[in-house]
Structure 1
Amino acid sequence: MTDLTAHQTATALGPFTVLVAGDVVYAAGFTDSVEQLARLADAEPGSVAVSADDHSALAAVRKYFDGDLSAIDEVTTKERPGFAPFRTAARQALREIPAGTTATYTQLAAAAGNPRAIRAAGSACATNPTALFVPCHRVVRTDGTLGGFLYGLDIKQALLDHEAKCA
């Protein structure tokens, strides 16, 4: 595993932390828990350095919250190796959902190449290590309800509201 460094910024929704190697984000989320993100990145929590320095991924997050929704699109993410091809395809499809819109888990499954893999699409969202940059918050249930989100439904709804306002 690559040596990772944690960087953090404050947002309107609370702390946002990234685990990075260079310019590549391996884990990110609305938490100040380096341990939680290290587990998502399949890294040993004690091996992650913590830095008070700013990072380009955090600058993109701040731009996003300032209304530049596309700022997060250019951030490079990397998944831990060994994931099934469908999960990788689903995470790539997540990045194709435009800000200000939503897709259903059914639509995500189809976009990832297997329309019957609705539960697997939900699993790809639930285990997404790079929240916000891989926008799993844009996926909802067929009936329009939110479904789930690792960092809570309040944050998911706030992200959707922010994007609807700024799109």
Structure 2
Amino acid sequence: MTAATTRRTTARHRGTGTADFATTDTPIGPFTALTDATGYVLAAGWTTDAENLRTLIHPALRPTELRHRDSLGPVTQAVIDYHRGDLTAIDTVPVRQHSGEFLLHAWEVLRQIPAGSPITYTEFAAGAGRPDATRAAANACARNAAALFVPCHRVFRIGGALGGFRWGLPIKRWLLDHEA
């Protein structure tokens, strides 16, 4: 993959200083992203509560302070472009999450699911190399802090039920319809 790859970190300490955040209006509500000093997305979602997003970040990467910005440059532009119809705008935004090997790999697999081609949790588990681990695949979606950029909304249950989504099923439905 490119720079958009979820990066594994060897950080062994808690807290990483200051993260920047910005909130952007979208057709489905305000979207906030938090980035580290190098511009990698640490967390994102449809909320104005940056502190809530901060708590989703693994302790090894969790910033100790948050700084509001009007824009996060290319991250903010990608959010705007995606919601305006450029479904690939989010593909090159770099993301940094921390976890074990399976979750890191599963998040990479999520980033490779094309817009408009959602898959089931069973297919996701198989694509992540653990075909019998549907629950582990669902857990990867649930623990994903970087919504939109790591598009867990593109995974649904067998039979077409949406499954869960931290930001609510109406937002997940809108995203899937937007990408169809």
TM-score (normalizing by structure 2): 0.85
| Stretch of structure 1 that moved more, 2-11 or 90-99 | 2-11
Q: Distance in 2 between matches of 1:150 and 1:53?
A: 24
For each residue in 1:31-87, what CA deviation from the matched residue of structure 2 results, as whole angstroms up to 9, or x when unmatched? 11111110111325x61111223421110011111111000001000003xx12111
Picking from 37, 41, 65, the partner of 1:47 is 65
- 2:75 maps to a residue whose letter is A
Picking from 92, 97, 101, the partner of 1:79 is 97
2:20 aligned with 1:5: yes
2:170 aligned with 1:158: no
Deviation at 1:101, TM superposition (A): 1.2
Tell me the residue number matched to 1:64: 82
- 2:23 maps to a residue whose letter is Q
Q: Distance in 2 between matches of 1:57 and 1:51?
A: 12
Q: Distance in 2 between matches of 1:123 and 1:148?
A: 10
Given that 1:7 and 1:55 are in contact with CA atoms closer than 8 Å, whether structure 2 keeps it comes out as no
The structure with more helix, counted as a fraction of residues? 1
TM-score (normalizing by structure 1): 0.92
2:151 aligned with 1:138: no
For each residue in 1:1-27, what CA deviation from the matched residue of structure 2 results, as whole angstroms up to 9, or x when unmatched? 332111111000101001002321010
For each residue in 1:96-128, what CA deviation from the matched residue of structure 2 results, as whole angstroms up to 9, or x when unmatched? 111011111111111111111110100100111
| Cα distance, 1:53–1:132 mapped onto 2, change above 3 Å | closer
- Helix, strand or coil: the match of 2:136? helix
Tell me the residue number matched to 1:129: 145
Given that 2:144 and 2:150 are in contact with CA atoms closer than 8 Å, whether structure 1 keeps it comes out as yes
- What 5-or-longer segments of structure 1 have no aligned partner? none
Q: Distance in 2 between matches of 1:160 and 1:87?
A: 23
Tell me the residue number matched to 1:116: 132
The count of residues paired between Structure 1 and Structure 2 equals 161
- Helix, strand or coil: the match of 1:91? helix
- 1:20 maps to a residue whose letter is T
Given that 2:22 and 2:68 are in contact with CA atoms closer than 8 Å, whether structure 1 keeps it comes out as yes
Structure 1 stretches of 4+ with a deviation exceeding 2 A read 52-55
- 1:52 maps to a residue whose letter is D
- 1:77 maps to a residue whose letter is V
- 1:101 maps to a residue whose letter is S
Deviation at 1:131, TM superposition (A): 0.3
